RNA sequence: GCCACCGUAGCUCAGUGGUAGAGCAGCGCUUUUGUAAAGCGCGGGUCGAAGGUUCAAAUCCUUUCGGUGGCUCCA
């Protein structure tokens, strides 16, 4: 006699076990009609689930109360849609397509499958698949769940010859994976005799298509309003690149065709905001294959944006007591052996640069490539002893040590700026009275990203960080973290960026890989959490996400397509000072280890500007715009006056262009609007006579009227100096 | 790196075995214009690169370079 508690805390009693559907019916017929599934004690279940004991139950539909798409409802719809797509693909390509794994995702769903040799799936099949999916949805077959005892289910799957499903079942039953890891076939765990496997038929079991599946699903295929296959990709079984390569088919589904259409429309809109498209159109940057993949050439327009950002950030840093430094883009290998970057991160670094004479000598000696690598990665006895003594651990094992005359020296394109900054700190003695020492550099670093990971400006191989290293006492750590975050807050606020979140990376509770004392870690972690809490944006604490050398704070923003990009980071580091043997003299007249804080709150100018382009859709505030004003003479007769106006603006330090072509004014306005110039000054004989300019501001599709040139200059100078987000100058 | 798709004029794209095209941009001429494209004309491409099949290749095949999307959220 279950008592059901509904989300509004009201209860309903039943004298028999009930299904979710019956509960919905008891609430109202329209809810029963709209119901897709239910949540029993917080767990998403089929509508047909029988509830025998008291429980709190929520009925899931495709919309929440405020008419927004319901996340759980979409999950159910997309989970079922994955089955429908798999059935459609098997109908189109054949039953010998082996299905592996097909879950819902944030924006849809995918299904991984093995396309048998000799067959292939391409976008040419999409029309056929979409049509077949529409048919299955129109047929509105019930989603029928049935359970089979584990042993029977396994036998059934094995006889069907799909090793991926057998593997899924074994994992679900907690058995060792006989297929994936090659463990012995072990029918049913003795400890779990009642275990069962569940299957879902898209219709009648035995008659219609079916799949091993945990569920839950919507009650019938008709409840998937609209589904569509989207794209193809490849994936690996279990994400393991040594395992089978599968074809991943992406699709998406919504409760109605209108919502699917809206989603497709939004994808198109997002494409129009893509920083690569806008960047090309507005000539902000260029990537040239002759220069290299992932290497950004900042063209004049983009360079203005970058320079303005550097000036802005640089000014804020000076206010906070940072000191500017400049260091080269390369350094000797020993430096990176000391820091620990080489060779441990060699997969993500450019290969070392070896001096020509050394290479020629090695070549004469017949040195092999493997031998060269070995000799580059080895260290001298002196370096080994120094590092091992300082860290108190055997971090350089004897195998890596080589006599000096065999070692090969070289340079590395720097993957990080910290070694150079550590060396600057070490170049002079420091008293505790000097701390914190804050060394800032817009430092360019180089990392070897896999070619498939590269993406416009947001994922590149050479980039300039807004980097700084703060060397301080353990007591100063909280205040310094606060300082970093207040900087982030100022800059995000200035740019009108509200859509960001913060991740605080903490120790794994039982991890042993960490360096530094427990007391320092506790304090630093608390400082990070406290600082994040003051930001006033959502932040998450993520145990296990700390670096081995200290806790960190990451800033993540979402781009228009919903992809998240990590921008900056603040990391506390107890390790660097040890490795580089940094010290300051304390009040006790004894040397002490400083704590280092790495911080690059915006990550890199490349990624940050890429995100900014999408954030503003190319319509930058006046202070960032490559061209702030464009003067448009009505006809050639006004060209002289236009040139005088432009001269005055330029003299006032504003970035001005002039469109003196023989186009009509309509054409000049259109071009300036497409290039997203903040202000157009339209000047004709009337203006020349009165010394005025006719103002048109971006985003307002009309003539705002005339004002004196002096008043315009003053107003725009103020807007730029205050770095306002909006265009505020008006006659 | 791996998989799918793509690469034609500065840009956006059409052309699927038979003499390389359009619009925009550029240049010239006409027009002298008051707020989202005036008209006419001209120039511009070894069709990403290399090799192959063919009487004939932008088009078909192979290789290669580059771009785009994707490469777990564990039934």
pLDDT digits (tens, 9 = 90+) for A219-255: 989 988 888 888 777 777 877 767 777 888 888 888 8
DSSP A360-412: HHHHHTT--HHHHHHHHH-B-HHHHHHHHHHHTS--S-GGGB--TTT----EE
Nucleotide nearest to A289 (CA to C1'): B66
Q: Which of residues 150-209 of A touch strand B (CB under 7 A)?
A: 168-169, 171-172, 197-198
Residue A629: the pLDDT is: 96
**Residue A18 CA distance to nucleotide B53 C1' (Å):** 71
Q: Which of residues 689-718 of A touch strand B (CB under 7 A)?
A: 694, 696, 701-703, 706
A71 touches strand B (CB under 7 A): no
pLDDT digits (tens, 9 = 90+) for A656-705: 999 998 899 999 999 999 999 999 999 999 999 999 999 999 998 889 99
Residue A383: the pLDDT is: 92
pLDDT digits (tens, 9 = 90+) for A25-78: 888 888 888 888 888 888 888 988 888 888 888 888 887 776 777 888 888 999
Distance of alpha carbon A98 from alpha carbon A334, whole angstroms: 52
Q: How confident is the model at residue A184 (pLDDT cuts 50, 70, 90)?
A: low
Predicted complex ipTM? 0.90
Torsion of CA A72, A77, A83, A84, to 10 degrees: -170
- A361, pLDDT greater than 70: yes
Torsion angles phi and psi, residue A159, rounded to 5: -70, -25
Nucleotide nearest to A455 (CA to C1'): B68
A368 touches strand B (CB under 7 A): no
Catalytically annotated residues of A? 418, 447, 465, 467, 469, 552, 598
pLDDT digits (tens, 9 = 90+) for A640-667: 999 999 999 999 999 999 999 889 999 9
Distance of alpha carbon A197 from alpha carbon A208, whole angstroms: 18
Distance of alpha carbon A381 from alpha carbon A193, whole angstroms: 61
Distance of alpha carbon A611 from alpha carbon A456, whole angstroms: 11
Distance of alpha carbon A532 from alpha carbon A713, whole angstroms: 41
pLDDT digits (tens, 9 = 90+) for A530-569: 888 888 788 888 888 888 788 889 888 776 556 677 888 8
A105 touches strand B (CB under 7 A): yes
- What is the separation of C-alpha A570 from the centre of its chain, rounded to a whole number of angstroms? 17
**Residue A234 CA distance to nucleotide B4 C1' (Å):** 7
Q: Which of residues 625-644 of A touch strand B (CB under 7 A)?
A: 634-637
Distance of alpha carbon A68 from alpha carbon A64, whole angstroms: 5
* Stretch (H or E) spanning A599: strand A595-600
Q: Which nucleotides of B are covered by protein (CB under 7 A)?
A: 1-5, 11-12, 25-26, 29-38, 65-75
Q: What is the mean pLDDT of chain A?
A: 87
| CB of A1 closer than 8 Å to CB of A14 | yes
pLDDT digits (tens, 9 = 90+) for A249-297: 888 888 888 888 878 777 777 777 889 989 999 999 998 888 888 899 9
Nucleotide nearest to A632 (CA to C1'): B35
Of A593, A572, A546, A597, nearest to A390 by C-alpha is A593
**Residue A278 CA distance to nucleotide B59 C1' (Å):** 32
pLDDT digits (tens, 9 = 90+) for A39-53: 888 888 898 888 888
**Residue A661 CA distance to nucleotide B10 C1' (Å):** 19
Range A102-110 average pLDDT: 84
- A180, pLDDT greater than 80: no
Classify residue A597 as left (phi > 0), alpha (psi -120 to 50) or beta: beta
Three-class SS state of A182 = coil
Distance of alpha carbon A584 from alpha carbon A675, whole angstroms: 54
Of A371, A377, A369, nearest to A333 by C-alpha is A377
Distance of alpha carbon A197 from alpha carbon A152, whole angstroms: 9
Q: How confident is the model at residue A430 (pLDDT cuts 50, 70, 90)?
A: very high
| CB of A154 closer than 8 Å to CB of A188 | yes
Q: What is the DSSP letter of A476?
A: G
Global confidence as pTM: 0.83
Residue A99: the pLDDT is: 87
Q: Give the pair of three-digit tokens for residue A386.
A: 């120094």
Nucleotide nearest to A561 (CA to C1'): B69
Q: Which of residues 588-627 of A touch strand B (CB under 7 A)?
A: none
**Residue A274 CA distance to nucleotide B45 C1' (Å):** 28
Distances (CA, A) of A395 to A284, A384, A639, A717: 45, 8, 72, 57
Of A270, A230, A610, A346, nearest to A454 by C-alpha is A610
- What is the separation of C-alpha A708 from the centre of its chain, rounded to a whole number of angstroms? 47
Q: Which residues contact A649 (CB under 8 A, 6 or more apart)?
A: A629, A631, A656, A713, A716
**Residue A642 CA distance to nucleotide B30 C1' (Å):** 24
| CB of A612 closer than 8 Å to CB of A619 | no
Three-class SS state of A513 = coil
Taking CA A695 as the corner, what is the angle to CA A693 and CA A696, rounded to the nearest 5 degrees? 150
- A185, pLDDT greater than 70: no
Nucleotide nearest to A102 (CA to C1'): B75
Distance of alpha carbon A141 from alpha carbon A168, whole angstroms: 25
Count of other CB atoms within 10 angstroms of residue A74? 24
| CB of A113 closer than 8 Å to CB of A99 | yes
- A512, pLDDT greater than 90: no
Residue A507: the pLDDT is: 84
With tokens 């670093």, the residue in question is: A445
Q: Which residues contact A82 (CB under 8 A, 6 or more apart)?
A: A102, A103, A104, A109, A110, A111, A251
| CB of A729 closer than 8 Å to CB of A679 | yes
**Residue A672 CA distance to nucleotide B40 C1' (Å):** 25
| CB of A627 closer than 8 Å to CB of A655 | yes
């Amino acid at each position: 006699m279950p008592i059901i508690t509904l989300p509004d805390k009201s209860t309903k009693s039943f004298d028999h076990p009930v299904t979710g559907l019956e509960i919905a019916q008891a609430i109202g017929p329209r809810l029963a009609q709209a119901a897709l599934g239910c949540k029993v004690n917080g767990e998403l279940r089929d509508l047909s689930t029988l509830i025998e004991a008291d429980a709190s139950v929520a009925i899931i539909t495709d919309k929440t109360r405020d008419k927004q798409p319901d996340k759980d409802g979409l999950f159910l719809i997309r989970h079922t849609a994955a089955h429908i797509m798999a059935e459609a693909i098997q109908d189109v390509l054949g039953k010998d397509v082996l299905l592996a794994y097909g879950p819902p995702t944030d924006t849809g769903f995918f299904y991984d499958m093995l396309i048998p040799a000799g067959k292939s799936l391409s976008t040419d099949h999409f029309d056929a698949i979409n049509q077949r999916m529409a048919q299955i949805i129109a047929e509105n077959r019930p989603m029928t769940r049935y359970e089979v005892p584990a042993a029977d289910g396994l036998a059934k799957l094995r006889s069907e010859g799909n090793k991926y499903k057998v593997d899924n079942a074994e994992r679900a039953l907690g058995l060792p994976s006989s297929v994936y890891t090659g463990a012995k076939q072990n029918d049913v765990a003795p400890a779990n005799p009642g275990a069962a496997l569940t299957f879902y038929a898209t219709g009648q079991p035995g008659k219609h298509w079916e799949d091993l599946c945990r569920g839950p699903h919507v009650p019938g295929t008709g409840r998937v309003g609209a589904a569509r296959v989207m794209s193809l990709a490849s994936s690996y079984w279990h994400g393991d690149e040594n395992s089978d390569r599968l074809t991943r088919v992406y699709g998406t589904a919504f409760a109605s065709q209108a919502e699917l259409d809206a989603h497709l429309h939004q994808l198109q809109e997002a494409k129009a905001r893509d920083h690569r498209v806008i960047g090309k159109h507005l000539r902000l940057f260029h990537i040239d294959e002759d220069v290299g993949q992932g290497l950004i050439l900042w063209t004049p327009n983009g360079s203005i944006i970058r320079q303005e950002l550097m000036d802005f950030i640089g000014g804020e840093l000076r206010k906070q007591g940072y000191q500017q430094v400049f260091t080269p883009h390369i350094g000797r290998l020993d430096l990176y052996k000391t820091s620990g970057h080489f060779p441990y991160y060699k997969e993500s670094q450019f290969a070392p640069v070896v001096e020509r004479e050394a290479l020629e000598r090695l070549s004469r000696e017949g040195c092999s490539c493997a031998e060269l690598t070995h000799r580059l990665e080895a260290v001298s006895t002196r370096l080994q002893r120094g590092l091992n003594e300082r860290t108190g651990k055997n971090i350089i094992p004897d195998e890596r040590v080589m006599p000096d005359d065999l070692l090969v020296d070289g340079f590395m394109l720097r993957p990080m700026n910290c070694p150079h900054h550590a060396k600057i700190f070490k170049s002079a003695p420091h008293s505790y009275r000097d701390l914190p020492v804050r060394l800032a550099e817009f430092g360019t670093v180089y990392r070897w990203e896999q070619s498939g990971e590269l993406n416009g400006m947001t994922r590149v191989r050479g980039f300039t960080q807004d980097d700084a290293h703060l060397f301080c006492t353990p007591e100063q750590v909280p205040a310094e973290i606060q300082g970093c975050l207040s900087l982030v807050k100022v800059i995000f606020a200035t740019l009108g960026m509200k859509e960001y979140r913060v991740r605080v990376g903490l120790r794994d509770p039982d991890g042993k890989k960490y360096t530094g004392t427990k007391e320092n870690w506790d304090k630093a972690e608390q400082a990070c959490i406290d600082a994040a809490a003051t930001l006033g944006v959502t932040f998450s604490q993520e145990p296990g996400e700390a670096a081995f050398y200290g806790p960190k704070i990451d800033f993540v923003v979402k781009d228009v397509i919903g992809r998240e990009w990590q921008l900056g980071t603040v990391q506390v580091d107890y390790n660097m000072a040890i490795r580089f043997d940094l010290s300051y003299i304390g009040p006790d007249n004894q040397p002490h280890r400083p704590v280092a804080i790495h911080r690059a709150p915006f990550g890199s100018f490349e990624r940050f500007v890429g995100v900014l382009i999408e954030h503003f859709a190319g319509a930058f505030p006046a202070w960032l715009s490559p061209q702030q004003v464009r003067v448009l003479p009505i006809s050639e007769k006004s060209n002289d006056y236009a040139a005088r106006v432009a001269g005055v603006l330029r003299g006032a330090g504003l970035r001005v262009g002039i469109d003196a072509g023989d186009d009509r004014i309509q054409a000049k306005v259109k071009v300036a609007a497409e290039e997203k110039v903040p202000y157009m000054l339209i000047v004709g004989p009337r203006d020349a006579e009165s010394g005025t300019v006719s103002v048109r501001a971006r985003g307002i599709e009309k003539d705002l009227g005339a004002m004196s040139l002096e008043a315009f200059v003053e107003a725009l100078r103020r807007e730029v100096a205050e770095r306002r987000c909006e265009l505020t100058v008006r006659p």
